[in-house]
Amino acid sequence: MTIIFSHALVRKMWAHVKQGLPEECCGFLLGETNEMQYVKKAIRAKNVAKTSRETKFVIDPREFMKVEKMAKSAKLDIIGIYHSHPNGRAEPSKFDLEVAWPSYSYIILSVLHSKPFKLLSWVLNEDRRGFNPEEVVVL
Ligand SMILES: [Zn+2]
């Protein structure tokens, strides 16, 4: 499926990515899905990985529940999770694969030399052994 962002939302995510350096940052994407996915809101989450926050991220399940409620009351769904790869490729890591959930879009923002480099979106395969790329449109 195609995932659609506004320029403002993309800027908001990059600002979060920069603030989080050198660690990975992460957050939720709320929006609506019909024949495409429209992202309406980006909500920051805390990276609670106990170690190696430069190369992985973990979101507290309680934060997940909180944002799920928030989404429901705004009549939106959590449609994806974004996170950064400081000095890494915009492709899912082995760890990302291990912890990924089906049906969510995984947006990865890669940073090179502290500068925004690439933004790609990925969806877990049905066999959960890998990701498929997803078209990203910024309007
Ligand atoms: Zn990752």
* Per-residue pLDDT at 103: 87
Residue with tokens 């989404």: 71
* Per-residue pLDDT at 131: 97
Ligand 1 midpoint to CA 38 (Å): 22
Ligand 1 midpoint to CA 112 (Å): 15
The protein residues having their C-beta less than 5 angstroms from ligand 1 (an ion) are: 93, 96
From the CB of residue 10, how many other CB atoms can be counted at a distance below 10 Å?
Answer: 19
Domain that holds residue 105: 3-138
* Inter-residue long-range contacts of 132-139, CB under 8 Å, 24+ positions, other chains counted: 134/1, 134/2, 134/3, 134/105, 135/1, 135/2, 135/3, 136/2, 136/3, 136/5, 136/107, 137/2, 137/3, 137/4, 137/5, 138/4, 138/5, 138/6, 138/7, 138/10, 139/4, 139/5, 139/6, 139/7
* Per-residue pLDDT at 126: 87
83 DSSP assignment:
E
The residue-averaged pLDDT of 2-16 equals 97
The residue-averaged pLDDT of 16-42 equals 96
For residue range 72-101, what is the model confidence (pLDDT) as tens digits? 999 999 999 999 999 999 999 999 999 998
Question: Is pTM beyond 0.85 here?
Answer: yes
Ligand 1 midpoint to CA 41 (Å): 21
User: Domains in the chain: how many in total?
Assistant: 1
Shortest CA distance to 29 belongs to which of 15, 42, 11? 42
Sign, CA torsion 120/128/81/2 = positive
Q: Examine the pLDDT at 114 and tell me if it is beyond 90.
A: no
- 128: left (phi > 0), else alpha (psi -120 to 50), else beta? left
Q: Examine the pLDDT at 22 and tell me if it is beyond 90.
A: yes
Q: Examine the pLDDT at 64 and tell me if it is beyond 90.
A: yes
Percent of the chain residues topping a pLDDT of 70: 100
Task: Return the CATH number at 97.
Answer: 3.40.140.10
